[in-house]
Amino acid sequence: MPVWQQLFDGLKTENFAIVAVAEESGGADLARPWIAQANPAYPCLIDVDHRVAALYGMVNVPQCVWIDETGHIVRPPETAGSTDHFRRMDPVTRTLSAEHQAARTAARASYLDAVRDWVRTGRYALDADLAREKLPRITRDMVIADANFRLGIWLRRNGRWAEAAPFLAEASRLHPDSWNIWRQAADKNEAGLAAGPEFWDRVRALGDRPYYPPPDLPGF
């Protein structure tokens, strides 16, 4: 059973809900198989214009926002249990060593445990000032990038792919930290993921910077 469904099943009687959002500009037909495979009992939205990502300052997946029962953000967008261990993958076999796989699994478990602690005890929730301080700063370039992205997606949705390309490229140039924006125009592999040579070149270009910045939680 997928980890998010397990989390939901364990907490659904404790005033807890999950809302998943697929950042998929290609539309429902591309997102639906992934949702069907997970078979979730919680709502899954398909955000073709990346409105959620723009509003909350999300730049990659998976990211989570913790929102309390009063509607206040108590943890701004952060990496939700994923780690950079994938960068140590064997390039030929596409596998991780047992050590790195174990560390990756442990980190995911730590994140889910932190969610459970928050729901049951309030632990790890940030006060209003600290939560506000940690919210991503929306810059002018990011706003213009979002406008270029939406225009590019609209053009592509209406069959005008050649016209869309420069707007999508400009969106990525203006907001280079957004992997969500970049991957919408990137080449896809056989699984439909933007994880081909272009992706790995971009990951290597990060140098020492993380692809998945670790959350400020135990186990990371």
pLDDT tens digits for 30-39? 899 989 999 9
Domain that holds residue 31: 3-204
Nearest CA among 133, 169, 123 for reference residue 148 = 169
Distances (CA, A) of 126 to 73, 156, 177: 9, 40, 25
173 contacts 182 by C-beta, under 8 angstroms: no
Q: What is the average per-residue pLDDT within 82-91?
A: 93
- Whether residue 212 is contained in a domain is answered as no
* SS3 category, 12: coil
Overall domain count for the chain: 1
Task: Using the predicted structure, report yes or no on whether residue 197 has a pLDDT greater than 90.
Answer: no
| 209 belongs to a structural domain | no
Average pLDDT, the chain: 93
In a domain, 39, yes or no: yes
Vertex 32 angle, CA 93 and 17, to 5°: 100
Q: 44-80: per-residue pLDDT in tens? A: 999 999 999 999 999 999 999 999 999 999 999 999 9
The answer to which of 21-30, 68-77, 78-87, 107-116 has the lowest mean pLDDT is 21-30
Q: Is residue 166 part of a domain?
A: yes
pTM of the model: 0.91
Determine, yes or no, domain membership for 219: no
Residue 173 maps to a domain? yes
* Residue 134 domain-assigned (yes or no): yes
